Amino acid sequence: MTALPPLDHIPADILSAADYEQRAADHIAPPTLAWLAGGSGDEHTLRANRSAFHDLRIVPRLLTDFSKACTRVHLLGTPLGHPILLAPLGHQRLLHADGETACARAAAATGCGFVCSTLSSLSLEDIAAATDEPKWFQLYFQPRRNDTLALLRRAEAAGYRAIVVTLDTPVQPLSRRAQRAGFRFPGDTPANLAAFAPPLQVALEPGQSIVLHGMMSEAPHWDDLAWLIEQSRLPIVAKGVSHPDDARRLRDLGVAGQIVSNHGGRALDGSPSTLSRLPVLRAALGQAYPLLVDGGVRSGTDIFKALAWGADAVLVGRLQGYALALVGALGVAHMLKLLRDELELCMAQAGTPTLADITADCLVGDVTC
């Protein structure tokens, strides 16, 4: 089946941010759709990320004064009109010819944040130049420290405001859905890594595991993160946190903020939903420490629940890809506007004029997995 080209207008049947998921399917090649929509293993965690939001209910409140209502938030020196960021999503030219520059422009137009991926189709410099609004750069540790340092220095020089270092995928599990669909990444090296020499092949001894002794030999350790913090002139945000002991150790090491994440269900299959980990991590880190979350967000109501459960902001991944494939930058901006509108409608009915008013007392129910 050949994917339809992107549209140049917003379809009349897009009434919510979540509508982009179904509407965009015809505009994405089936193997690419399997990659974008799928998760690792049997996709238990992928489903848990979504179902967790359904287990919480919001209690309406009456007669609240909204004369001083506000949705603005400052995260590590980055001002946002709403507590929404576009998550780092690589290879965006698989979805639209404009790639990451379209999403950067959409975020800038709607007062939302944008996080550029190490695996972006376009260079981090080209993406940074697309708008004057603040952006963050997501960093994967490279096998050689010099290459990691080169990415860090380029991000600093290009004007990024923070470094989001992804830690939850020391090995990347395969997506069975994408494999069955025949998905393959493009043969070209991602733009940000094109200047680096291929990593040396790991030599295994007889009986050693290709995963445990091969792939994991290149995985970062705590001393690598400490080195990165020492080298960086920008705040470091750790992405992929689930355990409170890790969260406390990251904070004590000097990490400036953390993102509760399971890679959108693409990391360890069977791990708990990100929403379920928010309260325990917030308790471990304290109320003032910057804590964000991604995974399963499809609506402004989901955003409200994440904020009430302990997040300062959310990151949106798959919805970004669907909107990009359907209508390019216009679609992503429209999707973000819908999320903003849905969040504000929820705040209005829940009696929460400001983000500080959105607390666990607004919710009933519980999330255990």
Query: Does residue 214 register a pLDDT over 70?
Result: no
Query: Does residue 55 register a pLDDT over 70?
Result: yes
Query: Does residue 33 register a pLDDT over 80?
Result: yes
Query: Does residue 202 register a pLDDT over 80?
Result: no
pLDDT value of residue 182: 92
Strand partners for 369 = none
Confidence class of residue 162 from pLDDT cuts 50, 70 and 90?
very high
Mean pLDDT of 190-203: 86
Q: What is the DSSP string of 180-239?
A: HTT----SSPPGGGTTSPPPPPPPPPTT--IIIIIGGGGS--HHHHHHHHHH-SS-EEEE
Q: What is the Cα–Cα distance from 254 to 248, expressed in whole angstroms?
A: 10
Q: Is 263 annotated in the active site?
A: yes
Confidence class of residue 32 from pLDDT cuts 50, 70 and 90?
very high
Mean pLDDT lowest among 212-216, 279-283, 354-358: 212-216
Structural domains in the chain plus CATH codes: 19-184+218-365 (3.20.20.70)
pLDDT value of residue 123: 98
pLDDT value of residue 172: 74
Mean pLDDT of 135-148: 97
pLDDT value of residue 215: 65
Mean pLDDT of 84-94: 97
Q: What is the Cα–Cα distance from 356 to 366, expressed in whole angstroms?
A: 21
pLDDT value of residue 85: 98
Q: Which of 91, 96, 263, 334 is catalytic?
A: 263
DSSP state of 321: H
Mean pLDDT of 255-267: 95
Q: What is the Cα–Cα distance from 100 to 6, expressed in whole angstroms?
A: 15
Closest CA relative to residue 323, chosen from 306, 341, 314, 336: 336
Closest CA relative to residue 321, chosen from 64, 87, 78, 81: 87
Interacting residues of 48 by C-beta distance below 8 A, sequence separation 6+: 265, 272, 273, 276, 369
pLDDT value of residue 217: 60
- Residue 139 host element (H or E): strand 136-139
pLDDT value of residue 174: 73
pTM here?
0.95
